Structure 1
């Protein structure tokens, strides 16, 4: 009997987990398969339910010197495609081995598309890891939600995995990643401890976090990649935060990497480099000797390029229409040469920089071209400031050309500056110096200067054969106006959208009809009247009249016919096939009253709940009112209100149609939300607030008619945030 039982157990194991060992055959996948030899997979769509663990996958690969050709097969982890924030698990794990090639693979519906750890000689090519995990964004057109901020400052324990990834690599040297696509996710290719790799000809665009991320990774070449629209935290004309999104992110001791011929436009930061916590603590190391050559970093809401606490070269790049072209805080021995700056608020801004060269650049049509400064009274509160010379000192600014720049130089608290042979034309303010600038040499600079070209600033990084043209095509809409953030990330132009351009004081709503070329018509409309047209073309426009006297509950349904469409969740519609989409707007006319309280050790919320309840029932030290909770809260600090050890109670009556609603709250430290005195959302444990997203909580409730909303909030520290969202739950496709 024992032998029979052992045979049965072995049979069950083999049914659930089996190994492919034959070569030159086509196999169908089954959940739990372990592939250990070269194989071609039978092309089909494989639906495998994802698991809660990121370290388990329906497909596992291990072995040496093998090629797995997935032959265009799709590994799909979720049928709930409209809820990518619910995706969990990993699609494919490369568990062990070396010299492994993966090609022609499609993975979607997981937290991580493909994960590999400790695999040397890994090649991933011609594969698609789009439509995997991304967070639901709480920021909207009018208002930023601070809980949407990301942090990539640590990844020793795979902290980056909380944001998911199309491809996640750790300790994989000599990796070749080429001709892959990752769009409509949060993070594209994320690399930790990966050296001597080649990443080229990929398209990692339209993600809500990072295109390519590196951590402790050196001697890699990142060439000819499309890394556009990796962005969040932006609303044109209202706020431009970026929320630590970037086309390329380079953190913590990444050295000698080459980034060349990439398009990195319309991203939170185009290129975001930070030396790392090791350098902050010890003053040692940095992200040094990286080369940025012939890239386009234009249209960043924040910085086209951020280079901090490190030594690098930035040569022959394009940086147009950013807040800062280059933010170079505490950079040293850095060369910025032969770059094309235009239309930036400030092209080069460096605080506490040392021994830097700014040479042979072109600056056109900017508010300020070069800003250099330091703060002599800055406290030395971390290791880098204590162990390094952080004076603003020793700059060479030569052979640059400035055209139609309002302010060319803005320099203070800086020593030893050579400004020589720079041509300035059409500038209303050539220089702004003060008495804090010492040892300044200003020579041969003006409208008659003739800058010289030093070819030594033109490195020749090794390219590749057949590197793709990464520049945005001529017909592509360009500029920060076209960073159009949806609740799932940046709009990708692959499907039609009715984008609200503005609403005037009379309630007229102007919509831009954007997307692939075609025609639209209104199928139904709720909450608006007087459409300027019931049909039109894409691109085009539409004006409707909204009601300014009551709750805005707008739902306009359109039907589009025209070019092929790919929806935000990856659904495909053929040319001429009807595609329906909506313009929706739901705005509750709140009347908030916020009562302010100050607590101490006798009635603090964590240790003395009963006394804290008595405090909230008593006389407030201040009362504020307004239609927007975040504004009422933000403006409440002031007289009689410290930013620490405060509590608030905010109430408002709402009147909404019957339906299912998402209640979202983002708050500093501790919050409870009640509807008609029933607790519906609670986030009352500050010890669990580790990341920005932890400050937000959601609940789904049924509402109908009049309700009283009460929000109780408390904070020990001075971090202030309170933002409530109530939105209908729409059935998405």
Structure 2
């Protein structure tokens, strides 16, 4: 566990002795503080924000407010679901030079919200257990409703939709240090904040953003931990990230210095976007206003942006940024994604093992669409799916305001002085991308250069590389980079219904579900989980326990015979108790896999005819995690595979008959790509489209006990594939 100095030993960090401040007992809502004091809150008191925003309100400048030891401002009873938390704990407006120390604020949508407060100091605070959304994605499938929308915040949409531990707006000169945030969605938000110093904070294991900047410039951000700020990830199943990030930077944030931070295991490590106004998607400006408009001239130096669900660094439609001396390892899609970036310097970075879960050709170390004037110098590339990938293809973006104001020709790029070792491909050029290439060392690379017919590659002498600056004399004492080595790798990202697991609190998570079975993970190791069956638990469902190789334990529940079976009881592990109430279904299916050449979206009947003559095989259920390997591996031993059956362009037809009691039933499906499920000839589930792994649910009703016929149709276009069909009572 990362421990920041000052968070644990707060008293040693405070510059004033405790006895010099008068004590004030806060015991009701709308409590106004207008002078320096030490705040005392009676133990166990809950103060909901029901009046004007802010249980504690501060409007006086130049005062110092310190929480007494043991005092906590709490807006809801412990155990209240995080998505029901509302209100503001401490509200500041127009109060300059205020110092807040030792805050403990929990159970609100926003723990602290400050507006137009210059030179504010927040030190030594614990702002954990505030608002976060309940996630709909599961380890088995992504739900698109979980995607964040950081693209608008001029009217405090971030605060209203997503909450924050510390929300600062319309100010300058603020200092935030030694703030800890856990079990929330967003840590620190800077909205139109300039000239601030953010250091020695630990806002990790959050479901949104560790630090988020909106229209904020000239800030120093150093020595912070923003690790495991992630959603939309299930290891080996999907890697979406859903716009979560360790550090988020949106809408024209410039000249920020981001140094010696750790933002590993995020949706992105760093996610920067020029902004909708910058591109001309909102607001109206003269054409010249859009010239060189974006997140510009920022410095990212000596940070760790590894193990992200998507990208280590994403910075798009921006100019003059420097990415120097960073670690970018094991990011699922790519180390750096810099679409439409111009005049940027990418130097002296360690870029290794990126692109395992790339999206098409977007994979590997550095990927830049319409790269112009970018310099990629003196980096160490190792074992990436591709080292550097630059391209420029025709796009209608050139007709938008930003595209018209800025030259989009992909010229002036320099890739020099780099070492490529063990990469699948060193340099990939597509379209009209132009690159000068010189002084690069290739060791054990499968392919050196892949340049398309229109690309221009010029070999140049090895240039003299510019000096990379040292971090210099920075405030703070924390050393978060490399402080969590035991959690290296994306496998350590475990996302539950409320966000990422912190590898400390007990966790039960559905690991797998299939025909007549469910499997749960229990973390951490050493809890020795025990199953306690409820009276109406079906004895045909048995339980087996096993230890997991990576730590923790698993409980596997299996239905011993065909039919509909109730799994009902609790898992007890240490002081934790988790109820489980689910249904297991086993059925006798007949399944056919077949290759197709007729697109099922265009001619379904012709597509179905291509399955004629394919011999079906028996299965207890429909649960096929094809991945990228296709269906052949799911055929029983000795069962013939149809000629031409591969990993893409295949279909699935399956049918069963099952006797069910009267009632309403849910068909819960996960598919990639198209799916249709019929019950007695009527379509109950239908999503006949190309899509990533996606859950679709349909309902049908029986007025009496009887046998029903269930038919499944599924097609796969290309890439990853999945097909799961489950059945349960609607009230189960």
TM-score bin, normalised by smaller chain: 0.7 to 0.9
Deviates more, 1:522-531 or 1:156-165: 522-531
Tell me whether 1:558 sits opposite 2:571 in the alignment.
Answer: yes
**1:343 corresponds to:** 353
**2:556 corresponds to:** 544
State the alpha-carbon separation in 1 of the partners of residues 529 and 237 from structure 2: 29
**2:422 corresponds to:** 404
Q: 1:560 to 1:357 in 2, by over 3 A?
A: same
Number of residue pairs matched by the alignment? 597
1:437, distance to aligned residue in structure 2 (A): 1.2
Q: Does the 8 A contact of 1:552 with 1:586 survive in 2?
A: yes
For residues 206-247 of structure 1, give each alpha carbon's deviation from its aligned partner in whole angstroms, at most 9, with x where no partner exists: 111111000110111111111011111111122111111111
Q: 1:145 to 1:579 in 2, by over 3 A?
A: closer
For residues 39-98 of structure 1, give each alpha carbon's deviation from its aligned partner in whole angstroms, at most 9, with x where no partner exists: 0012534311233x8x61211112111110012421111126341111111111012321
State the alpha-carbon separation in 1 of the partners of residues 503 and 569 from structure 2: 20
1:332 aligned to which of 339, 342, 345: 342
**1:134 corresponds to:** 132
**2:58 corresponds to:** 61
1:549, distance to aligned residue in structure 2 (A): 4.2
**1:384 corresponds to:** 402
State the alpha-carbon separation in 1 of the partners of residues 725 and 56 from structure 2: 41
Tell me whether 1:354 sits opposite 2:372 in the alignment.
Answer: yes
State the alpha-carbon separation in 1 of the partners of residues 730 and 90 from structure 2: 32
State the alpha-carbon separation in 2 of the partners of residues 179 and 46 from structure 1: 25
State the alpha-carbon separation in 2 of the partners of residues 704 and 236 from structure 1: 42
Counterparts of 1:683-698 in structure 2 under 5 Å? none
**1:120 corresponds to:** 118
State the alpha-carbon separation in 1 of the partners of residues 351 and 435 from structure 2: 21
Counterparts of 1:7-86 in structure 2 under 5 Å? 24-43=22-41, 44-51=43-50, 56-71=53-68, 72-79=70-77, 81-86=79-84
**1:318 corresponds to:** 327
2:468 aligned to which of 457, 471, 476: 457
TM-score, normalised with respect to structure 2: 0.72
For residues 434-454 of structure 1, give each alpha carbon's deviation from its aligned partner in whole angstroms, at most 9, with x where no partner exists: 21112522667xxxxxxx984
**1:202 corresponds to:** 201
State the alpha-carbon separation in 2 of the partners of residues 516 and 40 from structure 1: 42
Q: Does the 8 A contact of 2:398 with 2:408 survive in 1?
A: no
1:375, distance to aligned residue in structure 2 (A): 1.1
**2:15 corresponds to:** none
1:500, distance to aligned residue in structure 2 (A): 4.8
1:436 aligned to which of 446, 451, 454: 454
State the alpha-carbon separation in 1 of the partners of residues 491 and 730 from structure 2: 28
**2:309 corresponds to:** 301
**1:449 corresponds to:** none
What secondary structure, in the 3-state scheme, does the structure 1 residue paired with 2:487 have?
Answer: coil
State the alpha-carbon separation in 2 of the partners of residues 417 and 535 from structure 1: 52
Counterparts of 1:226-305 in structure 2 under 5 Å? 226-281=225-280, 283-284=290-291, 285-305=293-313
**1:96 corresponds to:** 94
2:506 aligned to which of 485, 492, 496: 496
TM-score, normalised with respect to structure 1: 0.72
Q: 1:508 to 1:621 in 2, by over 3 A?
A: closer
Q: Does the 8 A contact of 1:517 with 1:537 survive in 2?
A: no
Q: Does the 8 A contact of 1:275 with 1:286 survive in 2?
A: yes
What secondary structure, in the 3-state scheme, does the structure 2 residue paired with 1:304 have?
Answer: strand
**2:524 corresponds to:** 515
1:458, distance to aligned residue in structure 2 (A): 2.7
1:485, distance to aligned residue in structure 2 (A): 1.2
1:417, distance to aligned residue in structure 2 (A): 1.4
Aligned-pair Cα RMSD in Å: 4.5
List runs of 5+ in structure 1 lacking aligned partners: 1-21, 445-451, 562-577, 592-619, 632-651, 667-695, 709-722
Q: Does the 8 A contact of 1:521 with 1:536 survive in 2?
A: no
What secondary structure, in the 3-state scheme, does the structure 2 residue paired with 1:85 have?
Answer: helix
State the alpha-carbon separation in 1 of the partners of residues 201 and 425 from structure 2: 39
What secondary structure, in the 3-state scheme, does the structure 2 residue paired with 1:169 have?
Answer: strand
Q: 1:109 to 1:725 in 2, by over 3 A?
A: farther
1:402, distance to aligned residue in structure 2 (A): 0.8
Q: Does the 8 A contact of 2:348 with 2:378 survive in 1?
A: yes
List runs of 5+ in structure 2 lacking aligned partners: 1-19, 281-286, 356-363, 589-603, 609-620, 627-656, 671-694, 709-723
1:538, distance to aligned residue in structure 2 (A): 9.9
1:552, distance to aligned residue in structure 2 (A): 6.8
Q: 1:415 to 1:149 in 2, by over 3 A?
A: closer
State the alpha-carbon separation in 2 of the partners of residues 415 and 441 from structure 1: 14
State the alpha-carbon separation in 2 of the partners of residues 204 and 113 from structure 1: 14
Q: Does the 8 A contact of 1:84 with 1:134 survive in 2?
A: yes
What secondary structure, in the 3-state scheme, does the structure 2 residue paired with 1:214 have?
Answer: strand
State the alpha-carbon separation in 2 of the partners of residues 199 and 116 from structure 1: 15
Q: 1:484 to 1:704 in 2, by over 3 A?
A: farther
Q: Does the 8 A contact of 1:64 with 1:99 survive in 2?
A: yes
Q: 1:391 to 1:409 in 2, by over 3 A?
A: same
1:395 aligned to which of 394, 398, 413: 413
State the alpha-carbon separation in 1 of the partners of residues 275 and 659 from structure 2: 47
State the alpha-carbon separation in 2 of the partners of residues 543 and 557 from structure 1: 11
**1:425 corresponds to:** 443
